[in-house]
Amino acid sequence: MEARIRLADEADAKAINWVYNHYVRTSTCTWHLTEETEEGRIHWLKGRSRAHPVLVVEVEGQVVGWGSLSTYNSRQGWSATVEDSIFIHHEHHGKGLGKRLLRELLARAEALGHQSVIARISGEQTASLKLHETCGFTHAGLLKGVGHKFGQDLDCAYMLKSLRKP
Stated pTM of the model: 0.96
| Count of domains forming the chain | 1
* Other beta carbons within 10 Å of 117: 25
The domain spanning residue 69 has which CATH number?
3.40.630.30
- CA-CA distances (angstroms) from residue 156 to 18, 55, 100, 159? 25, 24, 24, 10
What pLDDT is attached to residue 79?
95
| Strand intervals (E) in the chain | 3-7, 54-59, 62-71, 81-88, 116-122, 138-149, 152-162
Structural domain span for residue 117 = 3-162
What pLDDT is attached to residue 30?
98
Instruction: Give the three-class secondary structure for 10.
Output: helix
Residues of the chain with pLDDT under 70: none
CA atoms 93, 23, 4, 6: torsion sign: negative
